[in-house]
Amino acid sequence: MSSSDIFTAIKNIVSAINSSSISLAKNFSNNTALGISQVTLIKSGATRLISFSVLQAGSDVGLIFDAVSIDVVNGFNVLSAIANGSTVTITFSGGYTFPVGSTIYVKDTGTGLDGAYPVSASASGTVTATTTAMGTSNTGKVGSGSIITTIPNALGVVNVNWPVTLGIVILPGTDQIISVSWQ
């Protein structure tokens, strides 16, 4: 075998590896959102959260949710909440219907109603959930979303590699700036 044959064989091997790498990269290419500093829906629907980078640490931690929208994560304004010791019925702004079986969180009511509760029924602008709490409120927020992970208030890269069903919503902590990668 001549040196020309050897070089041709090496060239063919390198071309094949390069072609395979390009094909693989197309199948597993990542999408990136850079410089996120406020609540952001970066991807709707099923996907995979690959990693995130904390570019500016901020003063507290942030959160990454598997959720359908920013509004659902931020929470809707509570117009009335009445808990009788077995259920809480909440009327809220926004007209959203929470999926039965999902978990809602109630916050900032100024009563013992703050917490996380499983949804037993929901219609546009109202939700009923199971609770042992008692009380009433005309203030606060009701929201939902599965927390995938916290965003630490320290610089660095965090590999997640987590499947997402509804969408990726980023809620950075105070003064945090992050970048996110997903497939």
Residues 138 and 152 in one domain: no
pLDDT in tens, 47-90: 999 999 999 998 888 889 998 888 888 889 999 999 998 999 99
pLDDT digits (tens, 9 = 90+) for 114-132: 888 999 999 999 999 998 8
| Cα gap 79→68, rounded to integer Å | 22
**What's residue 10's pLDDT?**
77
135 shares a domain with 96: yes
Tell me, yes or no, whether 81 and 140 share the same domain.
yes
- Give the pLDDT score at 91: 94
Q: Which H or E element spans position 158? A: strand 156-164
pLDDT in tens, 15-29: 767 665 555 444 455
Question: Rounded to whole angstroms, how far apart are CA atoms 62 and 45?
Answer: 21
Residues ≥6 apart with Cβ < 8 Å to 142: 75, 76, 78, 81, 90, 92, 104, 105, 106, 127
Judge whether 137 lies within some domain: yes
Instruction: Tell me the pairing of strands 115-123 and 126-130.
Output: antiparallel
For residues 138 and 151, state if they share a domain.
Answer: no
Regarding whether 158 and 113 lie in a shared domain, the answer is no
- Establish if 99 belongs to a structural domain: yes
CATH classification at residue 161: 2.60.120
Q: Which residue has the tokens 């010791």?
A: 85
- Work out the average pLDDT over 27-36: 80
Task: Say yes or no: 60 and 118 in one domain.
Answer: no
Number of domains into which the chain is organized: 2
Same domain, 161 and 125: no
**Per-residue pLDDT, 18:** 61
Determine, yes or no, domain membership for 127: yes
Q: Containing domain of residue 173, as a range?
A: 29-67+146-183
- State residue 29's pLDDT score: 55
Instruction: In whole angstroms, give the CA distance from residue 174 to residue 166.
Output: 25
For residue range 161-181, what is the model confidence (pLDDT) as tens digits? Answer: 999 998 999 989 889 999 999
The answer on 113 and 83 residing in a single domain is yes
Here the tokens at position 12 are: 């063919």
pLDDT of residue 72: 85
H helices present in 28-179, as ranges: 70-74
Tell me what percent of the chain is helix, strand and coil, each rounded to the nearest 5: 15, 50, 30
Same domain, 121 and 183: no
Residues 100, 150: one domain? Answer: no
**Given this model, what pLDDT does residue 16 score?**
67
pLDDT of residue 25: 47
Three-state SS string over 164-176 comes to ECCEEEEECCCCC
CB within 8 A of 3, min separation 6: which ones? none
